[in-house]
């Protein structure tokens, strides 16, 4: 629902007038969080955009939101959006929530499942965390202030991460290389830098990140392109600057990941600036 240091959340516009926003700090590296309340009852209607982060939304209001995607419409109180959730929209009334943005390393620690199991989708958080999600949501709803809510969320995430296995250093390094290169790196070079075969890198990376290295590079490249389009760059210049073969290549990736054209994506992003 907002933009922060970790990049745009999957909701492709910033908070507008009438929204109460409460940013918080996190104890874990790679975690950002904030509280949101629709004070003006303006309603929520936002396009979901892929980004190089996993986003967890814990709903606190009386009404669930509607998640519209290729798999159908679902009513969810809390959910997690994988790195590439696919074209989708979030709609809701009187929305109140805590939103947590997780780097892949942080997501691997706190989700409790392999990111591969999210299958590039928007998943019910209750299905993922069971009674722990309900207990956390109830405690957050009962808290008197946003500061208390964000402190409770931070403590919950820290407890979940404590016993979790660490991401393999080679996988973490491969992800960082993809991010630093803005997705302009060959899988063979990544494997060589790890001292692994391409098959081993593909398997370990997919299990711990939730995407293949090639798909991760595509996502990071798309994220940079979406930012450029939102800043007013034209699609032709964006394609060249972001490492696409040509403008049709950019068009295909934007259509696949965002479900719209580069021009439509630029219009959406511009309205969020």
- DSSP letter at 93 equals S
Q: 56-89 pLDDT, tens per residue?
A: 999 998 889 999 887 789 999 999 988 877 778 8
Give the confidence band of 4 by pLDDT, cuts at 50, 70, 90: very low
* 145 vs 236: CA distance, rounded Å: 47
Find the range with the poorest average confidence among 107-116, 147-156, 183-192.
107-116
Q: Are 217 and 256 in contact (CB under 8 A)?
A: no
CA–CA distance, 157 with 102 (Å, rounded to integer): 10
What is the C-alpha radius of gyration for the chain, rounded to an integer number of angstroms? 18
Residue 1 has pLDDT above 90, yes or no: no
Domains present along the chain, CATH in parentheses: 3-161 (2.60.120.10), 169-271 (1.10.10.60)
Res 17: pLDDT? 61
For residues 98 and 35, is the Cβ–Cβ distance under 8 A?
yes
Work out the mean pLDDT of the chain and round it to a whole number: 86
* Model pLDDT for residues 198-249, shown as the tens digit of each residue: 999 999 999 999 899 999 999 999 999 999 998 889 899 999 999 999 999 9
Which of 150, 130, 141 is closest to 63 using CA atoms? 141
- Dihedral of CA atoms 113, 115, 121, 127 in degrees, nearest 10, equals 10
Query: What is the band of 259 on the pLDDT scale with cuts at 50, 70, 90?
Result: confident
pLDDT digits (tens, 9 = 90+) for 112-142: 887 778 876 888 999 999 999 999 999 999 9
In 3D space, the residue among 233, 229, 210, 240 whose CA is nearest the CA of residue 52 turns out to be 210
Angstrom distance (rounded) from CA 104 to CA 102: 6
**Residue 116, pLDDT score:** 78
């Amino acid at each position: 629902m907002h933009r922060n240091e970790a990049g745009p959340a999957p909701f492709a516009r910033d908070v507008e007038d009438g929204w109460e926003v409460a940013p918080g700090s996190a104890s874990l590296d790679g975690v950002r969080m904030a509280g949101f309340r629709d004070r003006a009852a303006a309603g929520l209607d936002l396009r979901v955009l892929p980004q190089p982060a996993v986003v967890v939304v814990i709903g606190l209001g009386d009404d669930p939101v509607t998640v519209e995607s290729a798999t159908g419409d679902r009513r969810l109180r809390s959910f997690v959006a994988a790195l590439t959730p696919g074209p989708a929209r979030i709609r809701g009334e009187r929305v109140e929530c805590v939103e947590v943005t997780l780097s892949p390393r942080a997501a691997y620690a706190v989700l409790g499942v392999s990111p591969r199991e999210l299958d590039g989708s928007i998943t019910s958080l209750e299905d993922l965390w069971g009674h722990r999600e309900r207990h956390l949501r109830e405690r957050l709803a009962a808290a008197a202030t946003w500061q208390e809510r964000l402190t409770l969320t931070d403590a919950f995430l820290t407890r979940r991460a404590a016993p979790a296995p660490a991401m393999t250093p080679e996988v973490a390094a491969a992800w960082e290389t993809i991010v630093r290169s803005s997705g302009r790196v060959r899988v063979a070079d990544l494997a060589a830098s790890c001292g692994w075969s391409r098959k081993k890198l593909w398997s370990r990376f997919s299990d711990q990140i939730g995407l293949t290295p090639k798909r991760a590079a595509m996502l990071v490249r798309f994220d940079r392109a979406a930012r450029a389009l939102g800043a007013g760059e034209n699609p032709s210049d964006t394609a060249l600057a972001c490492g696409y073969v040509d403008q049709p290549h950019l068009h295909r990736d934007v259509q696949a990941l965002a479900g719209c054209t580069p021009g439509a994506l630029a219009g959406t992003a511009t309205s969020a600036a």
